[in-house]
A and B are shown apart, each in its own frame.
Chain A
């Protein structure tokens, strides 16, 4: 090459080449992002649909559940500081169930994220743990996929339960004088899930009318309804 190699020239040359590479590979990423975006959105929605189908039978509602949501700010009752998503299931316009995102802050391995489905009659139709760090093989029975007892998973004991006129006094593990089972050696995980479910249930029951009446997409700041 006949060009003179000065410090400035070399820096500018390498900088331009690096920039060129950056542009080239950013373009490759942007293109992939664009082409995979619809599939990723569909996959995310599918996962949500599957999860919701586990806590509320798909035949029980006829509205576009994934779109009929509001965000509620009730950190005391639901444990989520940044606001929880609430899905509202209806049939022929009549309220069927509220599906509430809640968080148990006191799991053995940190917070446990839950979805709690509360029927309009105040009875739970299902609870699922969506994110948790409970000990594998010990505390992770709160997730029915990890529960060794496949025939009657631990988390299914919530189905059909309700508060006793708004009180959740008996919502404890048997060891603490309540009427819920826990697996030996991992009571803390059960205690956390039971407590958070009780708070979410009491909250949904106390605020039911407001939650169903709120406009789709609205952010609601609510207080009260958290028993215990």
Chain B
């Protein structure tokens, strides 16, 4: 893997994480992260759409006139989301019923358009596909952590709803049978609280790393500076 690919991953997963730094795509992040299974499923659908959208635009980038690039991008995204929506409906039907409106809403997820405009429209197809996957995985990780936290605190379980994907499997009651549940974690305000805590933790880790770097002056490596927020 070249250094460029490494940067793509570092940006997608950490430095420019869509969920924690760019704060793009908040609507699905907050709405679908009630359980880990829901969150990861929507994350996977988003990765698929982002990879395909970046790939298509990168291939077609020399045929898209600058003035109408946004309508063309939206057209590409909407078509690909429709295709993914149909595929979910046909092959993962129960999950499709759970995710409902949120698969079509990937169209309005700003992160998809943002990566096309900022990256795929200027880079070759292979690198662009990698970028789409890296950014998607970054979003997926945030969704997964958020979903796990909210489900654990709200219902005391993990893997709730796994039976929608694996027949016969069931949720694991981590906090025991008698856990009374903590409703607000599952309701929308809980999503804001949990995401706020995640972003705080992210900034804390970054500022600690920055402080450590200041304490021990190391040789300057280009592209290794930690962004301040």
Contacts and interface: CB of A to CB of B under 8 A. Distances in A.
Interface of A: 13-14, 17-18, 21-22, 25-26, 28-29, 32-33, 36, 39-40, 43-44, 46-47, 135-138
Given A29-B83, A43-B93, A137-B186, 6 more contacts: A14-B65, A28-B83, A32-B83, A33-B86, A47-B94, A137-B154
Given A18-B71, A136-B187, A36 B34 contact: no
Contacts of A18: 68, 71-72, 75
Nearest to A138: B183
Contacts of A135: 183
Contact of B93 (A13, A25, A47): A47
Contacts of B155: 137
A18 B69 CA distance: 9
B82 interface: yes
A17 B61 CA distance: 13
A65 B79 CA distance: 36
A213 B224 CA distance: 78
B97 A47 contact: yes
A25 B79 contact: yes
B75 A22 contact: yes
Interface of B: 34, 60, 63-65, 67-68, 71-72, 75-76, 78-79, 82-83, 86-87, 89-91, 93-94, 97, 154-155, 181, 183, 186-187
Contacts of A14: 65, 67-68
A21 B82 CA distance: 16
A94 to B, nearest CB: 34
Contacts of B97: 47
A17 B79 contact: no
Contacts of A25: 75-76, 78-79
Nearest to B163: A145
A43 B90 CA distance: 6
Given A22-B75, A137-B154, A40 B90 contact: yes
B220 to A, nearest CB: 45
11 contacts: A17-B64, A18-B71, A21-B72, A28-B83, A33-B86, A36-B86, A43-B89, A44-B93, A47-B94, A136-B187, A137-B154
Contact of A40 (B72, B86, B94, B181): B86
A172 B153 CA distance: 35
Contacts of A39: 90-91
B16 to A, nearest CB: 28
A26 B80 CA distance: 10
Nearest to A50: B94
Nearest to B185: A137
B90 A17 contact: no
Nearest to A34: B86
A114 B72 CA distance: 43
